Amino acid sequence: MQEKLMVFAGNANPNLAKKICENLGVPLGNALVGRFSEGEIQVKINENVRGKDIFVVQPTCPPANDHLMELLIIVDALARASAGRITAVTPFYGYARQDRKDQPRVPITAKLVANLITTAGTSRVLTVDLHAGQIQGFFDIPVDHLYAAPVLVEKFREYIQIAGKEKTVVVAPDVGGVKMARAFAKHLGVPLVIVDKRRIDAQSAEVMNVLGDIKGKTALIVDDMVATAGSLTEAANALKNMGAKDVYAGASHGIFSGPAIERIEKSVLKEVVVTDTIPQENYGKHPKIKILTVAPLLAEAIRRIHNEQSVSSLFV
């Protein structure tokens, strides 16, 4: 059955695609994904895919529009070449924060993107830590939703060994992140602390209160993504001001947009751990940023999907 499994990739995260293929023991599919002279995306599949089980590794990370269009055009090319099944492997799902109408006359872009991916000819979607879990329901095709927790937890255990379990807490940076942080706290066997914040605008927030005992403790902040790092660094500074000994952070997706790196460098954060759902080659040697790979996790999920086995049992 393995001979029917093929993996292709766009230009969003080719290194992750190569690592996935190494873990699967299959070659990366031969395809041209480039640009015509006027800037339009050019795609050509250079091998036979008829009846094959195809996985397209293409996170829709910044520049989101370019990477989304690449994904749609690759899927269309594969569908027109009679691929048997096409799974869009989007470790990072762009536009996920636009998942509801929180103001008058704004779009629900996460739903629009789901419609586009489905209409292009995608059979199913494989993703990691959606910003809002309900986005799974925006698709009319199966969605396998993975969690980066097993990857991050191993790194967090190192911090706990240094500080001691009784001197460590997991921190939710806002009320919306409580569910994710609680799962980490339960898994690690340490207490949960919640940061109560008020959002000022899309780029910044103000910490109002910290719920829980933090004095003299090592704080492990957990979130799904680090974008401009405004909320993260505000939370870290508030924890430090309230008596935390050391502050670390872990997130599934490191977007690091705008002033993020500068904010992290100036903050009290000792280390920020992210995964390679988004390319992180620029920060691999940064003293405060640690990059972990989700390639083995995605490869195992792909293997199970291909073999019609349970994916949810990965997290039991």
Q: Which residues have a catalytic role annotated? A: 197
Helices (H), the chain: 14-24, 64-80, 109-120, 149-163, 178-188, 230-241, 260-266, 295-306
Q: What residues contact residue 23 under an 8 Å CB cut-off, 6+ apart?
A: 295, 296, 299, 300
* Alpha carbons 107 and 128: distance in angstroms, whole number: 23
Instruction: Specify the 3-state DSSP secondary structure of 229.
Output: coil
Q: Are strands 41-45 and 53-57 parallel, antiparallel or unpaired?
A: unpaired
* Alpha carbons 113 and 34: distance in angstroms, whole number: 22
Q: Are 182 and 139 in contact (CB under 8 A)?
A: no
Residue 227: what residue type? A
Q: What are φ and ψ of residue 142, in 5° steps?
A: -60, 140
Tell me what percent of the chain is helix, strand and coil, each rounded to the nearest 5.
40, 25, 35
* Alpha carbons 271 and 278: distance in angstroms, whole number: 18
